[in-house]
Amino acid sequence: MSNDEHVPEIESYIRTIKELTRSVYTSLSFKKFRNQPLVEIVYAQVFWLNAFPAINGILDQRSPQNITTGATIEYHLHCQLEFGSYVQTNEAHGNNMQPRTIGAIALQPTGNVQGGFYFYNLSTGDIISQRSWTPLHIPKDVINRVHELAAANEVS
C-alpha cells in the first residue's frame, strides 16, 4: 500500500459510523448540545458495531467485543435505554437534604456485567456512570437545559 491510498474496508466502516451517528443525531429532541455528547454518539455507535458478530468477520458466532475482551451483551442489562433518553439517576445519599436523583441523558451502556450506563449529567454537563435510574418522558425544561449547556460551551 503506497501513500495516499485508502483501504476500502476501513473507508466503508468509517462511512457506516458517520451514517449511524447522523441518524442518532437527527432523531434527538435537542437542536444543539455540547461537543462531548456528539463524541459520545460516535463512541456508542462503535460500541454497538463491535457488540455483534460481523457478517464476514473472523468468527461467525463471536463479536469483536467478545473476541477482544471476553464480554458479551445481555439484552436485559445493556439494551434498557436508547441514546438521548431522559432519566433520573439514583445517587448515593445520606439522611440529609441533598438531592437523591439527578436529571441525565442516556448515552450508552458501560458494557460491564452489572449493566451500568453512561449518562450526560444535566446539572454539571459531565459524563457519569450509574447502575440505577428511572426513565421518564423528556420535558421541555430538560431540552432547554441542554440548550443552555450548549450555549455556555460556545466560543464567542
Question: Per the domain annotation, does 1 fall within a domain?
Answer: no
* Confidence tier at 114 by pLDDT (50, 70, 90): confident
* Tens digit of each residue's pLDDT (9 = 90 or more) over 19-55: 999 999 988 888 888 888 888 999 999 988 888 887 7
CA distance 130 to 108: 11
Tell me the residue range of the domain where 121 lies.
8-153
> Which residue in 110, 116, 120, 108 sits closest to 146, CA to CA?
120
Number of domains in the chain: 1
* Res 156: pLDDT: 44
Q: Give the number of residues written for the chain.
A: 156
CA distance 46 to 23: 14
Question: Per the domain annotation, does 3 fall within a domain?
Answer: no
* Tens digit of each residue's pLDDT (9 = 90 or more) over 81-111: 999 999 999 877 677 777 778 899 999 998 8
**Helix ranges, 33-154 (H):** 35-50, 64-69, 75-78, 140-153
Write down the pTM of the prediction: 0.80
* Confidence tier at 137 by pLDDT (50, 70, 90): very high
Q: Which residue has the cell 436508547?
A: 82
CA distance 95 to 112: 30
* Tens digit of each residue's pLDDT (9 = 90 or more) over 5-19: 777 778 888 999 999
User: Regarding beta strands 86-90 and 101-109, do their DSSP bridges make them parallel or antiparallel, or are they unpaired?
Assistant: antiparallel
CA distance 9 to 62: 20
CA distance 44 to 107: 7
pLDDT at 67 over 90: no
Question: Per the domain annotation, does 54 fall within a domain?
Answer: yes
What is the residue-averaged pLDDT of the chain? 84
Question: Per the domain annotation, does 2 fall within a domain?
Answer: no
